[in-house]
Amino acid sequence: MPSLERYQRKLDYSYAPGLFPTMEALLKRPETVRRVLVAEKAAGEGIEKLRALCAEKAIRMETADRVLRNLSGKENCFSAAVVRKENRPLTGDRHVVLHHISDHGNLGTIMRTALGLGIRDLAVIRPAADMWDPHVIRASMGAAFSLNLREYPDFDAYLEDCGDRPLYPFMLTSSVSLEEGSMRAGNRFALIFGNEGTGLPEAFAALGQPVRIPQTADVDSLNLSIAAAIGMYAFTRAVEQKARRKGENTDGE
């Protein structure tokens, strides 16, 4: 195997830095793990668990202090998985679509929140932050390995692939509140969020049912990962509430 390079977008592999993300890569997508890197001084229960998993799955484990130092920046990082990048098909009913998102931390946090709330398909519309950047994988706490992640060159490509579902662009200019919008929704939806600074272009108002998170005039807007979390919570709750009511009605028949 050729020697490992500092991460760049054009590489066909990336790094999952940190014990937890390394473990998640090994548990959820072992077929994409090329090898596991550990620091020479790394020790402890976690590292032993990694070692056992690598042995079980016949994945090479090696010491690579220089690569780990480059990866970690300020924080310590005693292990990393080297993973093959994938552009996975979006197979679920519930999508989150991030249009021109630019912050690594937001992208990783949104991945983790989506997984926690039961949304397993996430599309990123380019130009955007690189969803395979090691900072994103780290911020996702390894959620990146449990989700279907797919990049699209533009929004039309997403529409062509998945546009047959109700679309909900999140826009501060919408007159329909998140509550109203989510109450009407079924279990098949795409929640669409725009860039941190500029939001979605006005043209998105003509797509599907735009919704607005009610907020006071005291803030300019909510942080993107916060807005996405509130949106995902409201939609997943509304769908489950409906399913429950339907169940209750059937019980009563």
Of 91, 175, 216, 250, the one binding a second copy (CB under 8 A) is 216
- Cβ 233 to a second copy shortest distance, Å: 5
**Residue 102 interacts with a second copy (CB under 8 A): yes or no:** no
Identity of the residue, 39 or 238, whose beta carbon is nearer to a second copy in the bound complex? 238
Q: Give residue 241's identity as a one-letter amino acid code.
A: Q
CA 209 vs. chain centroid, Å, equals: 23
49, 208, 226, 242: which one contacts a second copy (CB under 8 A)?
226
Binding residue (CB under 8 A) for a second copy from 218, 248, 251, 253: 218
In angstroms, what is the minimal distance from the CB of 240 to a second copy? 8
Residues belonging to the chain: 253
Specify the stretch interacting with a second copy by CB under 8 A; choose among 11-19, 44-52, 106-114, 163-171.
106-114
Pairing of strands 121-125, 13-17: unpaired
Judged by CB under 8 A, the number of residues near a second copy is: 29
- Using CB under 8 A as the binding rule, whether residue 148 contacts a second copy is answered as no
Measured CA to CA, the distance from residue 107 to residue 96 in angstroms comes to 11
Exactly one of 85, 93, 230, 242 binds a second copy (CB under 8 A); which one?
230
Cis check for the bond before 127: say yes or no (omega within 30 of 0). yes
User: Strands, E, within 121-214: which ranges?
Assistant: 121-125, 148-152, 167-169, 189-193
Q: Which one, of 243, 225, 242, 241, lies nearest residue 114 by Cα?
A: 225
Answer for which of 22, 32, 79, 225 binds a second copy (CB under 8 A) is 225
> Rounded to whole angstroms, how far apart are CA atoms 240 and 104?
31
164 burial via Cβ count (<10 Å: 0-12, 13-18, 19+)? exposed
Which listed residue (63, 87, 198, 215) binds a second copy by CB under 8 A?
215
Contact flags string 115-134 toward a second copy, x per CB under 8 A:
xxxx----------------
Q: Name the residue nearer to a second copy (CB basis): 87 or 221.
A: 221
Q: Is residue 192 within 8 Å of 169, Cβ to Cβ? A: yes
Report the interface residues with a second copy, using CB under 8 A: 109, 112-113, 115-118, 141, 143, 146, 179, 213-216, 218-223, 225-226, 229-230, 233-234, 237, 241
